[in-house]
Amino acid sequence: MMAGSRNLLDVTHVLARPDYKLLLAFENGDVRIFDMRPQLDRKPFDRLRDPAEFAAAFVDLGTVCWPGEIDIDPETLYDGSAPADRETLKYELEKLVEQYGDKRMTEADWGPDVGFERLDPPPGNEHER
């Protein structure tokens, strides 16, 4: 192994934000934010300038992909991202609760070391957590 190299980490979860940033969870429990804006001037990522296209991000085979056979290397995502702080994570989960009306993703989905309190579902959605 070359000096400075490390094991490749798979992406386990992704949330594409309206500001063209990706909230990423990695298999080692790290939660990080990657800014895609600089990539949007290069092919094939230029097709993701459409907010609806960008929002269609999903995880497949350990990396982030979009319809149309667009993907980005998980090493690029990890090395080019910054750690997400607790307030960012809480805000993102609150947005998910608003969007879906229930708790479709929990702190457990984003790794064991996140450490923020559980969010209550919005009023009227007291069913399953």
Q: Which domains does the chain have, with CATH numbers?
A: 11-108 (3.30.2020.10)
83 pairs with which residues across the strands? 32
Q: What is the Cα–Cα distance from 32 to 50, expressed in whole angstroms?
A: 23
Question: pTM of the prediction?
Answer: 0.69
Average pLDDT over residues 37-41: 96
pLDDT at residue 105 greater than cutoff 60? no
Mean pLDDT over each residue of the chain, to the nearest integer: 76
Using alpha carbons, list the distances in angstroms from residue 107 to 36, 78, 96. 24, 20, 12
What's the confidence (pLDDT) of residue 34?
A: 96
How sure is the predictor about 86, in pLDDT bands with cuts at 50, 70 and 90? Answer: confident
How sure is the predictor about 13, in pLDDT bands with cuts at 50, 70 and 90? Answer: confident
